[in-house]
Each structure stands twice: as C-alpha cells, then as structure tokens.
Amino acid sequence: MAIIYKIGIRVYFTLVKIVGLFSQRARQFTQSRSLSPLRQSPKHDGANLWIHCASHGEYETAKPLINRYGSRFNIHLTFYSPSGYQVAIDEPKYWTTLRYLAYDHSSKLKAQIHDINPKYVIFIQYEYWYLLLKNLSELSIPYLYYGVQLTESHLLKRPLAKFLREKVNQSQLILTRDAQSQIIGEDLFTTQVVEVGDVRWLQAAANQSQPYSFPFDLTPYEQVIVIGSAWIEDLRLWYTYIESHPRTCFIIAPHDISDDSVGKLISPLNTRPDIWLDHQGEMMTQLESNILIVNILGQLKYLYRIADLAYIGGGLGSGLHNSLEAAIYGTPVLVAGDVKSNPEVRKLIDSGLADRVNTPDDLDHTITKLHATYNKTKATAYLAASLKKSQQAYSLIDKILDV
C-alpha cells in the first residue's frame, strides 16, 4: 500500500498543478512550494523545534506551545495551506524559520528535514504524511500529535491505511480532543494516547488576555451580533433577520475576504454595509450602517469579546469553525448544520451555552431562547474546567521535550 500511496500522492499533486492553469487558488498552492524559507537569527544553538500546521486554525492552536517553548527552542513553522502562512508571515515573533511543507513525494522533503534539523516535531491536530513520518522515524527524530480528533470513519481506521497507521504509532504521544478519540486511538495504537480536551481553549484564553480596543462607536445599537467565519450558506440564514433588526449591529467576518466572495455575500442586502479594510487610511469611528464587514485577517478572535451573541460559520459547508474563540468570553454561541463531528460544540449545547439554528424562520426564536436560558455563572465554571483540563497537555509535552 505504501507504493500505491506514493503513486497516488504524485498523481494528486500533478493534478493540482494542472488545475492551477485555470484556478487561482490551486495556482497559489503550487507556486507557494517554490518559495524560499523565511529566516531570522536563531535564538538558541542547536535546539530546534519543528511545528507543522495545516492552516490558520492549527496555527492559532499552536501559539500556546510556541509561547511556552520558544524560550528553549528555535521554532521552525511549516504550513500546508496559504491561510496560515499568510498570517504567520506578519507575526515573526512566533518563528525562526517559516516555510511551506515540501510535497510528500518530493526529493526536497529530505532536504527540508535536514535544513530544519529538528530535535522534536509537533504535528498540530492532523497531517498524516507517510514519507515525512518515515523519514523522521529513520532519523530517530521524535514526533507527537497535539489535539487529534478521531472518529469511527477516520482514515486511520481503514484496513488499507495500516502502513500509515504504523508510522503514526511511532509518535511519542497522541493528545486527543475528546474521550471518543482516546478510545479509538487506544484501539489503533500502542503508543501513549491521552485525552486533554480541546486544546484550542489554551489559545482562546490567551486571546482573552490580550488588550483590544474596537475602533467604532457602538452606543447607537441595542445589541451586537458577530457572525464569524461566514460563508454564503451562513448568511442566507441571516439576511431576513438583519433587515428586520436595524437597532442591532451586525459584524460579519467572511471566511473568504476576496473581493469576489465579499461581493456575493453582501449583494442580497438592502442596506449598504461598511467595510473595514486593513491599511484603509484614516480610520472612521462612526459606522454609517448597522452592518460592518471585517476584511482583516486575525481580527475575529478579538471581536467576539464585544458580542452579545456570536454565530460561528462553516457548519453548513466545509465544517464548523472555532467556536471556543467566542465561548471563552462568556458569549452565547449559535451554530448551524451538523455538529456531530464537533465534540466541543456538542458540549456547549448540552451545557446550555450554545444552540443550533436550522432555518431562517427559526433564528428569531432561537436567539430569544438562548438569551433567556444562558447562565453566566454556569458558563464561567464550564470555561474554567475546560481550560484546566487542556492545561494537562503542557506537563505531558514537557516530559517529551525534556524541559
């Protein structure tokens, strides 16, 4: 099966290159692999920690680890997707080198490992690349997985994935997000598998502690609703509600901030929204409408603190985005779509700290019910317990890294 994997990976990336002739997104993906690593002066002699993130969400999850271990190691970041790389490039305090992960079939993969020369490698949540793991194992470079979620239908449970499972099993530690993942992991692997809850709580708490000042005057409005990581499918739930609530300020952070995507999101609105752009010159402080489109990466995690209610997008499409960034502020959370694959959202719903909306007609009733039943004291206790559980990850990783 390993041979079939190698052939399949080559075919896949060849197809991506072909699609890149017609798709800007695919072209950006392939062109990114030709970029040279960005480098800064190393802080430590010979102590290199490689942290690999698929995209922006995993990068945010990695930040608590970088803050904890950056004083002992040079941090070498790699990304699979441009969404994380493009944010990290503006945050040089988090890395010594920054680059894209080499293709798993590429001869450049060994060269990349040699250049980074890691003492340890941490994979954030996912990314099971066979040849990368094989090379790390052959070089006796220890690695671990941080924040893994496993399901009964997961790739690693399939019989044909035995060759890949064996490499994941050679990791020093697998930290899972929920009890089901731990049970599945213990059945699949002989290495140590430990549930530490959703480790994204750690970065959510770090975001909460950061100073933040929202530049716009919200006093004219009765409430603020933040619609985060919004896709067109999400906004279809909200258009009627937005038009019928002029005394509410709606702050919308699109998942895709390209002009074309934002244009499609706002075209059904009767009200012309304000658009908050990065580097837009003199900053206005007074909104001209009750709708603000946020076209700045990295703002959303702070915007939730000013919300009376937060809606988390993605559940109607590619997958629900990070709800913990909002919940950490004690903000009632609203989601849509299938939540079965998101254990933390299920816990929030079961605890009365979140609710699920199905149709535009349900929205008004669901919001009223959520506000009426939301218990701030219960929320505070739940958040404290969740954070304490996730902090167990530190002591386990400390032992692996010998710090």
Q: Note whether 146 and 393 are within 8 A (CB).
A: yes
The half-sphere exposure of 369 on its side-chain side, counting CA atoms within 13 A, is: 12
Residue 20, pLDDT score: 64
DSSP 203: H
Residue 27, pLDDT score: 73
| Residue 225: strand pairing partners | 250, 309
Cβ neighbours of residue 224 closer than 8 Å, sequence gap 6 or more:
218, 248, 249, 251, 306, 307, 308, 309
User: Phi and psi for 223 in degrees, rounded to 5?
Assistant: -155, 165
Q: How many residues does the chain have?
A: 403
Output the tens digit of pLDDT for each of the chain's 403 residues.
667 776 776 776 777 677 667 777 767 777 677 778 999 999 888 799 999 999 988 999 999 999 999 999 999 999 998 889 999 999 999 999 999 999 888 788 999 999 999 999 999 998 999 999 999 999 999 999 999 999 999 999 999 899 999 999 999 999 999 999 999 999 999 999 999 999 999 999 999 999 998 999 999 999 999 999 999 999 999 999 999 999 999 999 999 888 899 999 999 999 999 999 865 545 557 899 999 999 888 899 999 999 999 999 999 987 889 999 999 999 999 999 988 878 889 999 999 999 999 899 999 999 999 999 999 999 999 999 999 999 999 999 999 999 8
Instruction: Identify the CA nearest to 394 among candidates 184, 92, 173.
Output: 173
Residue 281, pLDDT score: 47
Q: How far apart are CA 7 and CA 103, in angstroms?
A: 13
Residue 284, pLDDT score: 59
Q: How far apart are CA 285 and CA 332, in angstroms?
A: 26
Other CB atoms within 10 A of residue 269 CB:
18
Residue 16, pLDDT score: 67
Residue 254, pLDDT score: 94
| Residue 159: strand pairing partners | none
- Measured between its terminal Cα atoms, the distance across the chain in Å is 38
Residue 120, pLDDT score: 97
* pTM for the structure as a whole: 0.84
Q: How far apart are CA 50 and CA 8, in angstroms?
A: 26
Residue 39, pLDDT score: 93
**Token pair 């800007």: residue:** 24
Domains and CATH numbers, the chain: 12-199+393-401 (3.40.50.11720), 208-386 (3.40.50.2000)
Residue 343, pLDDT score: 86
DSSP 80: S
